[in-house]
Amino acid sequence: MRMLLTLFIALQAANAAVATQTDEACGRPDRPNIVLLFVDDLGWSDLGYRNPVLESPNIDRLAQEGLDFEQAYIPCPTCSPSRAALLTGKHPVRLQMVRHIPVGPKHADFDAFGRTESEFNLWKTDPARFPCRNWLPLEQTTYAEVLGELGYHNEFLGKWHLGHEPYHPVQQGFDRQTGTSNFGHPRSYYPPYFRNATVFADASRQYLTDRLTDEAVRFLKQYDRDQPFMLSLWYYNVHGPHQGREDLVTRFRQKGLTGKQAHYAAMVKSVDESVGRIRQVLAEQKLAENTVIVFLSDQGGYFENPPFRGGKRVDTLCEGGARVPFLVYWPGITEQGGKNRSIVQSTDLFPTLVEIAGGDPAAHDHLDGISLLPTIRGNTLLDRGRPIFGYRAYEDLYASVRSGKWKLLAYRSGKVALYDLSEDIAEAHDLSAEYPEKTSEMIDKLASWEREMGVAEYSGVQ
């Protein structure tokens, strides 16, 4: 009996090993590697396959080979809140982070190194006087912390903008950080990159995006741990200052672009080159078939985003500011060249990453996102069961509600506007007077959500 039992156990182990090898050969391991490429201020229209003025062949190929979520939104389209939502799966309103973390004495007592002891700041032009956090609290659970518990190594590169040193990535679940400062953007994309920071102090002439990519490539080439990894590369590009790599600026000037437009096109191109280099080294290291690539922007672009209204600077909760590029490529899993019209939000990434890594999103309380894994696997239409909400605390326009084809914009002053996005993607024709019942329904949804989030006191519609 002992011999039979030993033989049975050995056969079971052998079968399990064969199954694992088969899964890996097909690019479907139980826990794939994950590469998250998070771009700053890249508009929905700022890619070559949507705008022929720009060049992004590597990102275009990623879209052709993977799944393109065409209706993806940032819940609070601005730097710090978008990062907090991505990390935690929680709406920035729930986190009390509804603006970017400022620097200098204008909004709080920040020193020259981007540090402060004040937990909150106020914004002088915010009519609600909403107090906003100056760092992401350490008690908030990040995707890095959960993936670490599931056996992943977490590598962080680039822009953080969620607090100074006591709140840096290595304090929030990441095993290592590189290229991280206390600031939301560089002084220059050529060294010295930052004032009062020692980020890449050894650099002489290298463009910042290229240096970050070198570090990512080095990590991938040298990775030899017996565990899956998640690489989070959060670019400073294409955030201002608008300074493209010199050779690429020359390229686009020769194509007829001038001024900031030439620099911006060069900045997009440098991100695209980075994506191409990372995919190349994944292939060279035989990691590509077992790696999920996620590509996302943190908010709409600085320039116009046709066919949408709005952007980073004006009407930011309109489609041009809140809708962003979002691509997922998982070899053997995602449909090649798939287009998905589901209404999704960046809060969905936390539960999605947790489930991809083999964890249970339901084990985490107060998530505002839902896992997209079934949608990614089958390219199916997601039924969220409730609207998505946008929210910021800078000016009169402060909230949005997206439910099906309908979108409501709400202002602190009490004004509202209703749009049918199926007919009016440019949000040019306010239908609130023509559809008073639908308008009231959407206002009720917003008011109920504000009460749930504990921010009714700042409402413009209560």
Query: What is the per-residue pLDDT across 168-182, written as a single tens digit (0 to 9) for each?
Result: 999 999 999 999 999
pLDDT beyond 80 at 105: no
159 and 302: one domain?
Answer: yes
162, two tokens:
């969620």
Quick: pLDDT tens for 227-257. 999 999 999 999 999 999 999 999 999 999 9
Strand-pair partners of 340: 69
- Say how far apart CA 203 and CA 221 lie, in whole Å: 21
296 and 216: one domain?
Answer: yes
- Say how far apart CA 435 and CA 18 lie, in whole Å: 61
Amino acid, single-letter form, for residue 112: A
* pLDDT band at residue 77 under the 50/70/90 scheme: very high
DSSP conformation letters of 17-67: HHHHHHHHHTT--SS-EEEEEEESS--TT-STTT-TTS--HHHHHHHHHSE
Beta carbons within 10 angstroms of residue 72's beta carbon: 24
Res 29: pLDDT: 52
Residue 25 belongs to some domain of the structure: no
User: Positive or negative CA dihedral for 53, 59, 61, 62?
Assistant: negative
Quick: pLDDT tens for 183-218. 999 999 999 999 989 999 999 999 999 999 999 999
* Domain end marker among 383, 412, 427: 383
Q: Which residue from 457, 462, 409 is spatially nearest to 128, judged by alpha carbons? A: 457
* Domain end marker among 337, 355, 383: 383
Amino acid, single-letter form, for residue 282: L
User: What is the phi-psi region of residue 373: left when phi exceeds 0, alpha when psi lies from -120 to 50, beta otherwise?
Assistant: alpha
pLDDT beyond 60 at 18: no
DSSP structural state of residue 316 = T
102 and 134: one domain?
Answer: yes
308 and 186: one domain?
Answer: yes
Residue 389 belongs to some domain of the structure: no
Amino acid, single-letter form, for residue 383: D
> End-to-end distance of the chain based on CA atoms, in angstroms?
74
235 and 377: one domain?
Answer: yes
Q: Is the pTM of this model over 0.85?
A: yes
Residues 6+ apart with CB under 8 A from 23: 29, 30
* Count of structural domains, the chain: 2
219 and 342: one domain?
Answer: yes
Range of the domain at 441: 396-458
- Say how far apart CA 244 and CA 236 lie, in whole Å: 12
Looking at 107-147, which runs of residues are DSSP E strands?
Answer: 120-121, 132-133
437 and 376: one domain?
Answer: no
φ/ψ (deg, to 5) at 448: -65, -40
Residue 167 belongs to some domain of the structure: yes
* Contact assessment for residue 166 and residue 184, using Cβ atoms and an 8 Å cutoff: no
Residue 369 belongs to some domain of the structure: yes
Residue 10 belongs to some domain of the structure: no
User: Measuring CA to CA, how many Å separate 281 from each of 104, 226, 237, 410?
Assistant: 40, 19, 21, 46
φ/ψ (deg, to 5) at 153: -90, 135
CATH number at residue 54: 3.40.720.10
* Domain end marker among 348, 383, 418: 383
Residue 233 belongs to some domain of the structure: yes
Q: Which residue from 49, 44, 46, 38 is spatially nearest to 261, judged by alpha carbons? A: 46
Quick: pLDDT tens for 277-287. 999 999 999 99
Quick: pLDDT tens for 143-163. 999 999 999 999 999 999 999
pLDDT beyond 60 at 16: no
pLDDT beyond 50 at 122: yes
